[in-house]
A and B are shown apart, each in its own frame.
Chain A
Amino acid sequence: MTVRRSDNGTIILDGTCPVEDAEALLQLLQATPTAGIDWTQCRQLHAAVFQVILASDAATVGPCGDAWVARWEAAQRAQRVPTNQ
């Protein structure tokens, strides 16, 4: 399973996370909205999964294993302020 909950309650994204993981992740987050998300082992993150992370208040743990996401994540976090076009 690419989305699972670890023993300490952290949600772990592992390997290639496909679009279906969005729903699985959402269900886990709905149960525990403040659980941390460990995405260091995630090799590839689908936009749908990323969208769920964005929509939640959950904190991510460590740099994202998906190099493309990791590269821009800092800017992403720095800008996590409401934006209007």
Chain B
Amino acid sequence: MRSDGSPALNALQEQFVTEARELIRQATDDLIVLERHGRSPERIDRVFRAFHTLKGSAGVVELPAMSIALHAAEDLLAAVRQGTLEANAIIIDQALACLDQVSLWVDDFQNGGLLPAQAGDDGRALAERLRSFLPGAQSQKTMTLANSVPSQREATLPIWVSRLMAAEGDALASRVQRRPAVVCAIAYEPSVGCFFNGDDPLQLMGRVPEVLAFYVEPREAFPPLSDLDPYACNLRLLAISAGSHEDVAGVFRLVPDQVRITVIPFDALPIHQSSKQIDNDTLIRKVVEAQVELLGVTHRTDDFAGCVGSAVRAATNALRHGNYLQAADAVTQAGASALSQRDTRPLLVALEQALVALDGARRPAVAEEVDEPNLTSAGATQRSAERVLRVSEAKIETLVNLAGELVVAKNSLAHSAKRVEQELAGREVAGAIRRDHDAIDRLVAELHGTILQLRMVPAGLVFQSFPRLVRDVSRQLSKKVVLVTRGEGTEADKTIVDRLFEPLVHLVRNALDHGIESPEQRLAVGKSETATVSIEASRIGDRFLLQVADDGCGIDPTVIRRKALEKQLMPAEELAALTDDQVIELIFAAGFSTSAEVSDISGRGIGMDVVRTAVEQIGGRVSLQSTAGAGTTVRIDLPTTIAMSRIMVVAAGGQLFGISMDAVSETVRVTPERISRIKNNSGFVFRDRVVPIVALAELMKLPEQERDLTAARLLVVMEAGGRIAALEIDAIRDRLDVVLKPMQGLLAGARGYAGTTLLGNGEILLILDIKELLP
């Protein structure tokens, strides 16, 4: 799993990911409750247990960095449990920050089966920071909250470094190929049982790039040989490397808990070097090159052996001097085969390779065993959202499509039945087919419903992150807010629930930023100091309703009117004619912002516009009610599923069109005398409102049909985007459940159409986008 980079997790690891997410969520919730409602032994126990279990599972899947961090957090919570530490906001912040980091690591783990290379350092830094809050920790006062993660890498010179440098003396300087700005001091203390895990600390150290010094010593004095346990590791491996911190950390990725890497400025190293020693490699190079040259001119057979022998001696001595032992060995061997073959070529090849090796040593990062993708991907990989479906989504998608096709097939059966009825006059046969059709209809509906159920997830999934968001944002704004969520179990299609997250974030942030007043303001107007924001999901019929409400200051229509005028959203007289409710709806208009200042909480006033677009994309409607001084409620009305749409098939101008039933309020027949003409437009009064009438045929630029002007006109009253209009049609043909396919290819950009669907007779039906068409 590790070395081949394959991201596939085994069952245990998968279970860990699922469990860890659940534990993180639970611990987050409990921490927030702990903060809000204060310390109770039971709550602290729950939090403690969650951290403890997480730590344990991290150990099982061998994520030491995670264990280190969680262990420190556990220590902190243990202190809270014992009562030696107060569970104040700062401590809760620390525990939450730890969970954030762990959550990111879980994502990394899920995506690649391992943690990023710097995880060990980050984990240790996090642990140190957490422990600094423990009672008695010295650094508590000096510690700043914001920038504390990995900045502690640069530290003072460990004592062993000076010791090692003193022993190395000039030899170290001679190994410096390029003068690095910083070096890594590596102290690696393998665990006692590491040999049993198949670790070979010596080999691992051999993979460290650009080693300048290396030393192995016992951690504790060795016992007499008679008492020595050969399989208990008692070694401390120390090294100084000119490689980058990332590369070095990459080598120890699997044992971050056993290694301590300290970055030291090169200048801080106690070495004294002369220019002569720096040029060591150049010298070796010259010696080797000279041998190549000499061999090139030596073809006399009499002293062949002597020439080859001296070239080999000179080259290997030079190479050994520079510690290029492998190259030296290769030259020796090549020399032997050159002698036996009486041909200088093998030796020349070996010498050339030695020269290449010399060059290679100058360039770092030649043979490092660091998985590049894992180093760079940490930021780029999409953080996968919480998955509840354990079945592959592609399979579900296929099922949904299949069921859709089945619906089409069923519709075609209805069409056949109709034809039998009309053309073949076989009424009895037709009746049988109809009954069959009804049966299939019922079965298909059931099948389709069941399949869609597979995609149904509870709304609570999307609510999960809000307690944390509300806590953080309200703290940032110094407001007191309680979040209430209701209807977590209400189910809707996964796509809908997933896509709801962003609009909800906007709405909640808006409520916190603009809606909720400061505690002082609230007290001044006689409200309780703590405000309430509620998110509620419910189901009415086949609609999924989501409501975000706050008991804040509400929206003042006069402010909106003024802003709308300033931004010239519409002419003044039109604005004056709007009711207060209609005015408030204006905040959904693009680019409208009532906040005097741009804040970093709810952005730049594009929020509500984005909310409306996002909700409409998944077939929903959003509306807002607000009472100045009492609060604001935003309602999002959504279909529970988006895979099927109910449409009405209508005829106009000799063609068929589909209209989404979502937009239809009513169908009415209106006698001509009820219709009044105002200039070129006609309209009629419907439920005390003047509704303009639009002829669909005219709208679609179809030729006018002959018609009886005295006959009643068929109108479909529709409401969309806050407007109302009546569409005049010739006839209503059918009501169908269809799988709406978006317009594709050349037609993708065609305005006025929501998509297409296949009718039973194979014809393609265009579904109108009413919102675009209405005047």
Question: Which residues of A does B touch, CB under 8 Å?
Answer: 19, 22-23, 25-26, 29-30, 33, 44-48, 50-52, 54-56, 67-72, 74-76, 78-79, 82-83, 85
A55 proximity list for chain B (CB < 8 A):
218, 222-223, 225, 228
Contact B215 A75 (CB under 8 A): yes
Contact B228 A70 (CB under 8 A): no
Q: Once the chains are docked, how many angstroms separate the CA of A48 from the CA of B163?
A: 24
Q: Which residue of B lies closest to A81 (CB)?
A: B167
Contact B168 A75 (CB under 8 A): yes
Q: Once the chains are docked, how many angstroms separate the CA of A69 from the CA of B225?
A: 22
Contact B325 A51 (CB under 8 A): no
A76 proximity list for chain B (CB < 8 A):
215-216
Whether A68 touches B202, Cβ cut-off 8 Å, given contacts A19-B195, A29-B225, is yes
Contact A79 B215 (CB under 8 A): yes
Contact A45 B231 (CB under 8 A): no
Q: Which residue of A lies closest to B221 (CB)?
A: A82
B159, B223, B235: most-surrounded residue (chain A CB, <10 A):
B235
Whether A48 touches B215, Cβ cut-off 8 Å, given contacts A54-B222, A71-B325, is no
6 contacts between A and B (CB under 8 A): A19-B231, A26-B230, A30-B226, A33-B225, A54-B218, A83-B217
Interface string of B417-461 (1 = CB under 8 A from A): 000000000000000000000000000000000000000000000
Contact of B61 with A by CB under 8 A: no
B171, B231, B326: most-surrounded residue (chain A CB, <10 A):
B231
Contact of B579 with A by CB under 8 A: no
Q: Which residue of A lies closest to B199 (CB)?
A: A47
Contact A51 B171 (CB under 8 A): no
Contact of B213 with A by CB under 8 A: yes
A26 proximity list for chain B (CB < 8 A):
225, 228, 230
B window 190-247: CB within 8 A of A: 190, 195, 199-203, 205-206, 213-218, 221-223, 225-226, 228, 230-231, 233-235
Q: Once the chains are docked, how many angstroms separate the CA of A83 from the CA of B259?
A: 19
B225 proximity list for chain A (CB < 8 A):
26, 29-30, 33, 55-56
Contact A52 B230 (CB under 8 A): yes
Contact B213 A47 (CB under 8 A): no
Contact of B148 with A by CB under 8 A: no
Q: Once the chains are docked, how many angstroms separate the CA of A71 from the CA of B208?
A: 14
Whether A47 touches B233, Cβ cut-off 8 Å, given contacts A76-B215, A79-B167, is yes
B190, B230, B329: most-surrounded residue (chain A CB, <10 A):
B230
Contact B325 A67 (CB under 8 A): yes
B221 proximity list for chain A (CB < 8 A):
82
Which 9 A-B residue pairs are closest in the complex by CB-CB distance?
A55-B222, A22-B230, A47-B202, A68-B206, A72-B214, A47-B201, A79-B167, A67-B325, A26-B230
The residue that A48 contacts in the complex, of B214, B216, B233, B326, with Cβ under 8 A, is: B233
Whether A47 touches B203, Cβ cut-off 8 Å, given contacts A29-B225, A71-B325, is yes
Contact of B323 with A by CB under 8 A: yes
Contact B216 A54 (CB under 8 A): yes
Q: Once the chains are docked, how many angstroms separate the CA of A48 from the CA of B223?
A: 15
A33 proximity list for chain B (CB < 8 A):
225
Q: Which residue of A lies closest to B329 (CB)?
A: A67
Contact B325 A50 (CB under 8 A): no
Contact of B160 with A by CB under 8 A: yes
Interface string of B157-193 (1 = CB under 8 A from A): 0011001100110010000000000000000001000
Q: Once the chains are docked, how many angstroms separate the CA of A68 from the CA of B168?
A: 16
Contact A78 B325 (CB under 8 A): no
Contact B202 A46 (CB under 8 A): yes
In the complex, how many angstroms separate the beta carbon of A51 from the nearest chain B beta carbon? 6
Q: Once the chains are docked, how many angstroms separate the CA of A26 from the CA of B216?
A: 19
Whether A23 touches B200, Cβ cut-off 8 Å, given contacts A29-B225, A30-B225, A54-B222, is no
Q: Which residue of A lies closest to B237 (CB)?
A: A47
Q: Once the chains are docked, how many angstroms separate the CA of A29 from the CA of B222?
A: 14
A44 proximity list for chain B (CB < 8 A):
203
Whether A71 touches B216, Cβ cut-off 8 Å, given contacts A48-B231, A52-B228, is no
Contact A78 B167 (CB under 8 A): yes
Contact A50 B216 (CB under 8 A): yes
A68 proximity list for chain B (CB < 8 A):
202-203, 205-206
In the complex, how many angstroms separate the beta carbon of B466 from the nearest chain A beta carbon? 50
Other 14 A-B pairs with CB < 8 A, given A47-B201, A48-B200, A85-B160: A22-B195, A22-B230, A23-B231, A26-B225, A26-B228, A26-B230, A29-B225, A33-B225, A51-B230, A54-B235, A75-B171, A75-B213, A75-B214, A79-B217
Contact B323 A51 (CB under 8 A): no
Contact A48 B217 (CB under 8 A): no
Q: Once the chains are docked, how many angstroms separate the CA of A8 from the CA of B110?
A: 58
Q: Which residue of A lies closest to B163 (CB)?
A: A83
A30 proximity list for chain B (CB < 8 A):
225-226
Contact B214 A46 (CB under 8 A): no
B167 proximity list for chain A (CB < 8 A):
75, 78-79
Q: Once the chains are docked, how many angstroms separate the CA of A56 from the CA of B230?
A: 11
The residue that A51 contacts in the complex, of B163, B199, B206, B235, with Cβ under 8 A, is: B235
Q: Which residue of B lies closest to A64 (CB)?
A: B325
The residue that B202 contacts in the complex, of A50, A70, A79, with Cβ under 8 A, is: A50
Q: Which residue of B lies closest to A50 (CB)?
A: B202
A52 proximity list for chain B (CB < 8 A):
228, 230
B215 proximity list for chain A (CB < 8 A):
72, 75-76, 79
A75 proximity list for chain B (CB < 8 A):
167-168, 171, 213-215
In the complex, how many angstroms separate the beta carbon of A45 from the nearest chain B beta carbon? 7
Contact B163 A46 (CB under 8 A): no
Contact A70 B168 (CB under 8 A): no
B160, B164, B203, B225: most-surrounded residue (chain A CB, <10 A):
B225
The residue that B323 contacts in the complex, of A50, A71, A83, with Cβ under 8 A, is: A71
Q: Once the chains are docked, how many angstroms separate the CA of A59 from the CA of B329?
A: 24
A56 proximity list for chain B (CB < 8 A):
225
In the complex, how many angstroms separate the beta carbon of B387 from the nearest chain A beta carbon? 41
B228 proximity list for chain A (CB < 8 A):
26, 52, 55
Q: Which residue of A lies closest to B202 (CB)?
A: A47
Q: Which residue of A lies closest to B194 (CB)?
A: A47
Contact A47 B230 (CB under 8 A): no
Q: Which residue of B lies closest to A80 (CB)?
A: B217
Q: Once the chains are docked, how many angstroms separate the CA of A20 from the CA of B477?
A: 64
Q: Once the chains are docked, how many angstroms separate the CA of A26 from the CA of B231?
A: 11
A22 proximity list for chain B (CB < 8 A):
195, 230-231
Contact B231 A85 (CB under 8 A): no
B window 371-404: CB within 8 A of A: none
B326 proximity list for chain A (CB < 8 A):
67
In the complex, how many angstroms separate the beta carbon of A49 from the nearest chain B beta carbon? 8
B223 proximity list for chain A (CB < 8 A):
55
In the complex, how many angstroms separate the beta carbon of A70 from the nearest chain B beta carbon? 6
Interface string of B321-332 (1 = CB under 8 A from A): 001011001000
A79 proximity list for chain B (CB < 8 A):
164, 167, 215, 217
Q: Once the chains are docked, how many angstroms separate the CA of A51 from the CA of B213?
A: 19
The residue that A47 contacts in the complex, of B159, B171, B195, B222, with Cβ under 8 A, is: B195
Q: Once the chains are docked, how many angstroms separate the CA of A83 from the CA of B220?
A: 10
Contact A51 B160 (CB under 8 A): no
Contact A85 B159 (CB under 8 A): yes
B200 proximity list for chain A (CB < 8 A):
19, 46-48
Q: Once the chains are docked, how many angstroms separate the CA of A23 from the CA of B168?
A: 32
Q: Once the chains are docked, how many angstroms separate the CA of A71 from the CA of B416?
A: 88
Q: Once the chains are docked, how many angstroms separate the CA of A52 from the CA of B224?
A: 11
Q: Once the chains are docked, how many angstroms separate the CA of A15 from the CA of B225?
A: 24
In the complex, how many angstroms separate the beta carbon of B164 from the nearest chain A beta carbon? 8
In the complex, how many angstroms separate the beta carbon of A11 from the nearest chain B beta carbon? 13
Q: Once the chains are docked, how many angstroms separate the CA of A17 from the CA of B232?
A: 17
B323 proximity list for chain A (CB < 8 A):
71
Q: Once the chains are docked, how many angstroms separate the CA of A70 from the CA of B29?
A: 57
B213 proximity list for chain A (CB < 8 A):
75
Contact B214 A47 (CB under 8 A): no
